[in-house]
Amino acid sequence: MNVIQFPGEELSNATRKSLVANEPVALRTYTPTQAVLKSSAGIFHFTADGRRLYDYSSGVLVANLGHNPVRWTKNLLARMGWHNSSGQFAGESNEEYFPAVPLTAYNAISEVEAQATQRLLASLQKSTLGNRLQQVMWAASGSEAVQKALWACLHRDEERDIILATRFGFHGKKGLAGAVTGSERDADRDPRVKFIAFPMQECDDHSKTEFDPAPYQQELEGIWNQFGSRINCLITEPYLGGGGSYHPPAAYLQLVQEWCRQHDILFILDEVQANFGRTGEMYAFEKYGIEPDFVCLGKGLGNGVPVSAAAGRADIMRSLKYGEASDTWSANPLGCAAVLATLDEFESTDIIAHTQSLTPIFLAGLDALKETGLVTRVRGEGMVFGIECAEAGSLHAGEVANRIVQAAYLGDGSGDGIHLLGALAGKVIRISPPMTITHEQAKTSLQLLQNVVSKLASELT
């Protein structure tokens, strides 16, 4: 197996070589830089060899508040009982152990879990659109939250076994979450899963074309005529994330919801990527004006601590019996404390308004990349965007995307670089910095990206 190496990165190169020898490549998603991160602060990563990178991924839409924010971290430590009222480590004593919130509370209940559940539900129900979100099932990853939501829906009526999912969505790789990911072309598809169209053409750029609901309504009616009351639930993302950053007209999601209501089909919104401000509102269902029966949350929910949740209708969740939605790490106190610390930040700062003010800055800066000829389309909202790459000479669009990721990492000679992920859907690069990035940092980093893409374009043409 080839090891990614860069000149002048002695420490990083040694780490890359070690991991290739001792871990399967399947453990990580391919990115042509494999940046070796030593530390992170705010919107920046620092490599093992001392280079500074603007983080344009937020750890895959996780660090919405930035990396290691001081107030958030102090809040988390205090909620876990690790810091005393003076801000000092609570374990500084002659004892081998010290009393604090346990790291695991499996088959028990912690106060921090009850607090997190109450606060999360209050946040979800702040808008009347969250009225159906009445109980919470905690989990540790987004795919687990999706799986639990699907379990609950299927348990409602075993005769209703059909799950509808929108094509090219991404809901995870495990179990049912993996089954509802992708399209009919994927192998080993669960026969209960059927796919419907998502409006990709209508959101092919951030200047959306007029939405015609007729074809989508016709398809939905056709699938009802085929399967009827066997249809149990429908799951979709508010926007296609892994599918290439396609952000639909609100009218599409409203149409899907209305159809589900007409036929008593449970409507699941997977906003694991989109929650906690990414779309410019606290929750994507608020942005799109819909009222889901279930919403799946994760990533930014814990700002770096692994935690996720499926929130939804109490009458559906109550059909599950003891243990049917439990696992080792569900509602673990550390995750719950992280949710509380994150909610505190969103409820006491102007982070949502700040995110909204960043949107036009990023759209303008990313649109300027089209002038290089290497980027053809820009799609996005709030603080999550996708730039679609073009062919260049003998290079297909996917190769161009990889070259941009690598060029951004190396930078323009100023000393700084940009950390990007490998391409989505083969040729789309996601742009999703922490939502705490300042206007000045946004403009500086966008100019850096413009410089490296322009330089690469001159080399390829």
The residues with which 234 forms a beta bridge, in sequence order, are 164, 267
Question: Do 272 and 279 contact (CB within 8 A), yes or no?
Answer: no
pLDDT at residue 210, as a whole number: 81
Q: How far is CA 341 from CA 69, 77, 115, 124, in A?
A: 11, 9, 11, 16
Within 8 A by CB and 6+ apart from 225, the residues are none
User: Which percentage of the chain shows pLDDT scores above 90?
Assistant: 87
Average pLDDT over residues 201-206: 77
Average pLDDT over residues 101-108: 90
pLDDT at residue 89, as a whole number: 86
pLDDT band at 90 (very low <50, low <70, confident <90, very high): confident
The domain spans of the chain are 10-68+351-460, 111-348
Q: How far is CA 122 from CA 65, 116, 128, 135, 249, in A?
A: 20, 10, 11, 11, 28
pLDDT tens-digit readout, 322-341: 999 999 999 999 999 999 99
Within 8 A by CB and 6+ apart from 409, the residues are 33, 35, 53, 417, 418, 419, 420
pLDDT tens-digit readout, 384-427: 999 999 999 899 999 999 999 999 999 998 899 999 999 999 99
- The answer, yes or no, to whether residue 27 has pLDDT greater than 70, is yes
Helix, strand, coil share (%) of the chain residues, nearest 5: 40, 15, 45
Q: What are phi and psi of 187, to 5 degrees?
A: -75, 160
- If DSSP codes are grouped into helix, strand and coil, which group holds residue 182? strand
Ordered strands of the 135-139 beta sheet: 135-139, 308-312, 294-297, 266-270, 231-236, 162-166, 193-196
Nearest to 380 by CA among 198, 248, 256: 248
CA 82 to the chain's CA centroid: 29
- The answer, yes or no, to whether residue 205 has pLDDT greater than 80, is no
State the Cα–Cα distance between residues 397 and 311, nearest whole angstrom.
39
Average pLDDT over residues 282-294: 98
- What's the whole-number average pLDDT of the chain? 94
Residue 122 corresponds to which amino acid?
A
User: Which percentage of the chain shows pLDDT scores above 70?
Assistant: 99
| DSSP H or E run through 397 | helix 397-410
Q: How far is CA 153 from CA 23, 173, 232, 268, 294, in A?
A: 37, 19, 7, 9, 9
pLDDT tens-digit readout, 56-71: 999 999 999 999 999 9
pLDDT band at 208 (very low <50, low <70, confident <90, very high): low
pLDDT at residue 201, as a whole number: 85
Q: b/e map of 172-183 (b: 16 or more CB within 10 Å)?
A: beeebbbbbbbe
pLDDT at residue 269, as a whole number: 98
pLDDT band at 97 (very low <50, low <70, confident <90, very high): confident
State the Cα–Cα distance between residues 192 and 176, nearest whole angstrom.
10
pLDDT tens-digit readout, 240-284: 999 999 999 999 999 999 999 999 999 999 999 999 999 999 999
Question: Do 404 and 453 contact (CB within 8 A), yes or no?
Answer: yes
- The answer, yes or no, to whether residue 1 has pLDDT greater than 70, is no
pLDDT band at 84 (very low <50, low <70, confident <90, very high): confident
Could you tell me which CATH number the domain at 111-348 has? Answer: 3.40.640.10
pLDDT tens-digit readout, 172-195: 998 999 999 998 887 678 999 999
pLDDT band at 2 (very low <50, low <70, confident <90, very high): confident
Question: Do 452 and 415 contact (CB within 8 A), yes or no?
Answer: no
Could you tell me which CATH number the domain at 10-68+351-460 has? Answer: 3.90.1150.10
